[in-house]
Amino acid sequence: MAVLVASDLDRTLIYSAGALSLTMPDARAPRLLCVEVHESRPLSYLTETSAQLLGELGDAAVFVPTTTRTRKQYERINLPGPAPRYAICANGGHLLVDGVSDEDWHGRVQARLADECAPLDEVRAYLAEHADPVWLRKLRVAEDLFAYLVVERELLPEDWVKDLAVWAENRGWTVSLQGRKIYAVPKPLTKSAAMREVARRTGAGLTLAAGDSLLDADLLLAADRGWRPGHGELADAGWAGPAVVALPERGVLAGERILREFLRTVRAEG
């Protein structure tokens, strides 16, 4: 029976320098492997142990990187192990097959967005009008599907994200705060729908998932089994799902634990 493993990347399997340890003392820091370089600067890492585990997982299951990153941002990542046949980008807006976006899938997503939620232009205009230049650093539109802000967290008013979430909810959008980024994403744009499509194409009989943010909640609930780390938006909210394990590990070691859980489960099913 094929097992499909759909995992979020940032702050789940790979970590920026600022998110590596969270609480880990320097003396206990593991050896790291850089998996992303941008403009000649190393950006993202995983532990060498995670690299080995990921290679083993790629041989044992259908591993599907699942991310809110755009296709261009995803392509900067060089994960160890076999090159994944499938990848989910732009929060499910693009399903990559051997590195190329599936046009049929993308068209179906666009049709759903046109029918089920307020248009992107309305949301972008609201963000531009209400974001304060005191704490706003960038306003970006990703793949013509959703928008996000890059902010100075320490200057961000405490209730601003909550107020935005209420406004967005009434228009069929959701809001997620991840590190220095505030995402505004249409509700019909989901990682779970793309995961189900890959499961259909591969004939997977079991689906496993992991993620740390609100945008991963639907993915975790849709999978047969899921894991979330002890850090991140879901952990901060005390979020739980019936088949989701809340792990105690935080930071880059949570990535190791998630990969061990994936492998243990895949091998038990084999």
Q: For residue range 74-90, what is the model confidence (pLDDT) as tens digits? A: 999 999 999 999 999 99
Alpha-carbon span 193 to 90, nearest angstrom: 12
Q: Which residue has the higher pLDDT, 24 or 156?
A: 156
Q: What was the pLDDT predicted at 27?
A: 63
Reply yes or no on whether the pLDDT at 28 is more than 80. Answer: no
Paired with 19 in beta bridges are none
Q: State the DSSP code for 84.
A: P
Q: Given this model, what pLDDT does residue 249 score?
A: 93
pLDDT at 20: 73
The distance of Cα 161 from the centroid of its chain, to the nearest Å, equals 19
The two tokens of residue 52 are 């080995």
Residue 24 has pLDDT above 70, yes or no: no
Predicted local confidence at residue 26, as pLDDT = 63
- Helix orientation angle between 252-269 and 48-60, rounded to the nearest 10 degrees: 30
- The pLDDT assigned to 5 comes to 98
CA atoms within 13 A on the CB side of 33: 19
- The token duo for 164 is 């935005």
Q: Which amino acid is it at 10? A: D
Which runs of E-coded beta strand occur in the chain?
A: 3-7, 15-16, 32-38, 41-47, 62-65, 86-89, 94-97, 100-101, 136-142, 146-151, 173-178, 181-186, 206-210, 225-228, 244-246
* pLDDT, average across residues 32-36: 95
Task: Give, in order, the Cα–Cα distances in Å from 10 to each of 113, 150, 253.
Answer: 25, 16, 13
Please compute the mean of the pLDDT values over residues 235-239 and round it to a whole number.
95
Whole-number Å distance between alpha carbons of 106 and 97? 12
Residues 95-149 pLDDT 10s: 999 999 999 999 999 999 999 999 999 999 999 999 999 999 999 999 999 999 9
Among the residue ranges 13-22, 91-100, 113-122, 157-166, the one predicted with the least confidence is: 13-22
pLDDT at 143 (0 to 100): 97
Give ∠ CA 195-199-200 in degrees, rounded to 5: 120
Res 30 pLDDT > 90? no
Provide the whole-model pTM: 0.93
